[in-house]
Amino acid sequence: MKKKQQHPGGGADPWPHGAPLGGAPPGLGSWKRRLPLLPFLRFSLRDYGFCMATLLVFCLGSLLYQLSGGPPRFLLDLRQYLGNSTYLDDHGPPPSKVLPFPSQVVYNRVGKCGSRTVVLLLRILSEKHGFNLVTSDIHNKTRLTKNEQMELIKNISTAEQPYLFTRHVHFLNFSRFGGDQPVYINIIRDPVNRFLSNYFFRRFGDWRGEQNHMIRTPSMRQEERYLDINECILENYPECSNPRLFYIIPYFCGQHPRCREPGEWALERAKLNVNENFLLVGILEELEDVLLLLERFLPHYFKGVLSIYKDPEHRKLGNMTVTVKKTVPSPEAVQILYQRMRYEYEFYHYVKEQFHLLKRKFGLKSHVSKPPLRPHFFIPTPLETEEPIDDEEQDDEKWLEDIYKR
């Protein structure tokens, strides 16, 4: 029986089958003396290959984990199938892309209050900043049934964020139907000026084409089309009396039936919604300041909007949407309108006061005066106000947008 080979330091020889090729490395003597204390360092070439393969798999798995923002889906499914805790149990959902705040904005635009201009700007900005501009093919249905409200809220809430939804529709209470309440924005204008703009636009259209009004109101009789505005007001035609004149407040009051009845209840509810649900309600007569505040409040949507609006090309195209053939009613007719629209004016002056207060906080100058006993009316020149249209599917929309593509 052979004796175990001994080395000078005592103990078993670390190289029982002979020293490695090339001889032992320098300092092997001291290393040999420590080796018996570390028997776990002995492994074969096969063990070494297995360790390296395991390390490679671990590195690849870690890389995949980081690139995909979390563990692979199949791993989560496997853990759930085996009954173990999943990544979602331990850490919550995997991180998603960082969304701007707010990432849900609704512009329930009031008709004939500059919305055509703002929508055109939004189309340009959505391409520039990459947010989701959600529009609707329904333009003239502002009052909805309960089921219609639920369906619309569901469609809006499932849109890809960040989104900005826009449509002519009265205020929707998302939280009533279990949805996340979005941030609202809107613009209003002097109520009589809004009424006059709508009255003449329905009859004679705007500068985009002489036949535009014929397309929009083909069933209007000639005597109705050329009805004098003073006669309409003084003779109390339905178009020039309530509830048709009670137009702006329902956009802020909401879908309740009482919101369509001129009175204190609708007025106070509209004010409450402005305070609680609207980030900004601007005044069309001060549109540049409205755009400036929107750019500060919602930069991920409106950054650069003022420079686009001031572009000479935009000014030139904006003139195309100015209502034509406007005439000023007589002082007597204006006074009657003012009395019929007293709730509209109380709301308008309230919003205007809040808007000027906001401007002062941001260092913007406002010429604030006490509300007059009767309103001061104006007929805007083409460069002062761009009139909106309700129908977003006009044939000339494409060439308007092409000019602004950056």
Catalytic residue ranges = 168
Q: Which tokens is 185 given?
A: 């924005």
> Which residue type is seen at 127?
E
How long a stretch of residues is the chain? 406
Q: Which tokens is 266 given?
A: 């609708």
Cα 17 to Cα 380: distance, rounded to the nearest angstrom: 104
Is residue 356 helix, strand or coil?
helix
Burial 42-72 (b: 16+ CB within 10 A, else e): eeeeeeeeeeeeeeeeeeeeeeeeeeeeebe
Number of Cβ atoms within 10 Å of the Cβ of 296: 12
Cα 376 to Cα 91: distance, rounded to the nearest angstrom: 62
Cα 386 to Cα 233: distance, rounded to the nearest angstrom: 25
Q: What are the C-alpha distances in Å from 355 to residues 139, 288, 365?
A: 27, 13, 11
